[in-house]
Structure 1
Amino acid sequence: MKISKIIGSALLIVATSTFTFAQTVDEIVAKHVTAMGGAEKWKALKGLEMKSKFSVQGMEIESKTVILAGKSLRTDVSVMGQEIINAIDGETGWSVRPAMMGGTGEPEDMPIAMVKESRKQVDLGGSLLNYKEKGATLELIGKEVLDGADAYNLKLTEKNGDVTNIYLSAITYYTLKTTGKRKIQGQEIDAEVTYSNFKQVEGLTFPFTMETPSPMGGTMTIETESVKLNPTIDESIFKKPAKK
């Protein structure tokens, strides 16, 4: 009798702990979504245009990204008088790279792995918004100190198996950092981004400063100059042009 009571008590504790844990994750995500502007506002967003600047080894680089929510993306980068284009059109992608960047200057098909990774950007509102509907699972790893501030470490496992650790501020519930490993052109790379300088644009919250380790050493800082919501978008810009 005593053994059965002990086992019964243990099962009750496990069941209660699991329920409490699940509720805690849901509560954290709900507060995050609210802090970012709310699910309804993000769902109503049809597209955006973002302009940014950053520098790499003294080279000033400007970029313009146009996103059609849930469908397409195009980023135009200007560096040293050269133009680089990366575009996603539905399930396919293409790019134009100058010779100095290892390209041909002509439109080229984007590697499938890069298309899959880039497509995540068309889901406006971030990876935690409606993550269950996207087939992802989420686990609360714990609470830790990140750059002197308390943060929740959430482990997001996407439907395709990609794993990302997302660190949310325990105070503002903004995303402070994301880390993960990705395979690009057969090579596994560390993908790490730190977010700061959060500002609201028409009720939606965006990080205007992003930092990521530079392949050339040190840290690359990307500063967003402007964000325009629901701009008029000519969908033909996402179509792969013919070679000259």
Structure 2
Amino acid sequence: MKTFKLLFIAFTICFTSQINAQTADEIIDTYFENTGGVENWQKIEGIKMSAKVNQGGMEIPIEITQLKNGNQMTVINFQGKVIKQGVFNGESLWSTNFMTQKAEKSSQEATDNMKLAINDFPDPFLNYKDNGYTVELLGNETIDGTETFKIKLVKKPVTIDGKQEENVSYYFFDTENFVPIAVHSEIKSGQFKGQMSESKFSDYQEVGDIYFPFSLTQGLKDQPGQGITMDKIELNPTVDAKEFEFPEEQPETSQENKN
């Protein structure tokens, strides 16, 4: 019995040492290997996600499109209306105003920050060194009962109110499957400035040759988040470039002309 206990302790120490011996690059490499391989990730030219957002018990259909050239948009179907948000064509960023239902361009600052995010497609870790990003393994942390590796990702600074701010996120990779299950980032502006946002990922499923999370939760750290459930993820979709262009406002037709 004493021999068994000694062997168990030795195994535990060995296993713990292996976890602690992991480097950030080894974790990232294993992540890509487990989710389809770097070569298959690099073949991705676009991603289109069809999902439902749970808003106060109501399921709202949305479509999120992201392309390698930087084009992206979120389309919300709400009460019979199609509302585009975060539409970017590589140069201009715009959204539909929920009240007026008219397209409005974002500030130059927001547009410039969006241009920086183009390099994150399809995953910010894929070519992080080429993009000038850095990573650091900060150790282990338990997230919702799951042991994880905590990796700090530092990207190029963003500009907030005319000042450059650090662009840092903390990714939590579970120690069994080496996939991210949570991301924490400090909110830089708005009502919740200074607080930590939290995104959680689960239900990884295979799409083509790549594994993606089909269940997401987004919100503030340590608070209930908003659930997003993927219905379908399509790789390399065909999307008309006109969908990303800022719509020219049509002249209003007078009542006299209508008659």
Q: 1:145 — aligned with what?
A: 142
> Would the alpha carbon gap of residues 59 and 114 (structure 1) be closer, same or farther in structure 2, given more than 3 Å must change?
farther
2:198 to 189, 192, 198: 192
> Would the alpha carbon gap of residues 187 and 89 (structure 1) be closer, same or farther in structure 2, given more than 3 Å must change?
farther
Q: Does 1:203 align with 2:209?
A: yes
Q: What is the percent sequence identity of the aligned residues?
A: 27
Q: Does 1:162 align with 2:167?
A: yes
2:183 to 178, 184, 192: 178
- Quote the offset at 1:187 in angstroms: 6.0
Q: 1:31 — aligned with what?
A: 30
Distance 2:240 2:107 in 1: 25
Note if contact 1:111-1:185 (Cα within 8 Å) is conserved in structure 2: no
Distance 2:227 2:155 in 1: 27
Once the two structures are superposed, what CA deviation does each residue of 1:70-98 show, in whole Å capped at 9, x if it has no partner?
42101101123333212011142101122
Structure with higher Rg: it is: 2
Once the two structures are superposed, what CA deviation does each residue of 1:120-152 show, in whole Å capped at 9, x if it has no partner?
377333211111111111111101222222100
Aligned to 2:40, what secondary structure does the other structure show?
helix
Q: 1:128 — aligned with what?
A: 125
1:217-236 to structure 2, matched below 5 A, reads 218-236=224-242
Note if contact 1:113-1:184 (Cα within 8 Å) is conserved in structure 2: no
1:37-56 to structure 2, matched below 5 A, reads 37-56=36-55
Q: TM-score scaled to structure 1, two decimals?
A: 0.81
- The alignment of Structure 1 onto Structure 2 pairs a total of residues equal to 219
1:75 is aligned with what amino acid?
A: T
Distance 1:91 1:185 in 2: 24
Distance 2:118 2:57 in 1: 28
- Quote the offset at 1:110 in angstroms: 2.1
Structure 1 residue runs without a partner (length 5+): 1-20
Q: TM-score scaled to structure 2, two decimals?
A: 0.76
Q: 1:96 — aligned with what?
A: 96
Distance 1:132 1:236 in 2: 33
Aligned to 2:156, what secondary structure does the other structure show?
coil
Q: 1:237 — aligned with what?
A: 243
- Quote the offset at 1:112 in angstroms: 4.8
Q: 1:82 — aligned with what?
A: 81
Note if contact 2:44-2:122 (Cα within 8 Å) is conserved in structure 1: no
Distance 1:117 1:31 in 2: 29
Note if contact 2:119-2:131 (Cα within 8 Å) is conserved in structure 1: no
> Which structure 1 residue ranges, 4+ long, deviate > 4 Å from structure 2?
112-115
Distance 2:236 2:28 in 1: 25
> Would the alpha carbon gap of residues 82 and 200 (structure 1) be closer, same or farther in structure 2, given more than 3 Å must change?
same
Q: Does 1:108 align with 2:104?
A: yes
> Would the alpha carbon gap of residues 106 and 222 (structure 1) be closer, same or farther in structure 2, given more than 3 Å must change?
same
Note if contact 1:69-1:123 (Cα within 8 Å) is conserved in structure 2: no
Note if contact 2:184-2:198 (Cα within 8 Å) is conserved in structure 1: yes
Distance 2:60 2:46 in 1: 23
Distance 1:122 1:61 in 2: 29
> Would the alpha carbon gap of residues 141 and 117 (structure 1) be closer, same or farther in structure 2, given more than 3 Å must change?
farther
- Quote the offset at 1:169 in angstroms: 1.0
1:213 to 204, 219, 227: 219
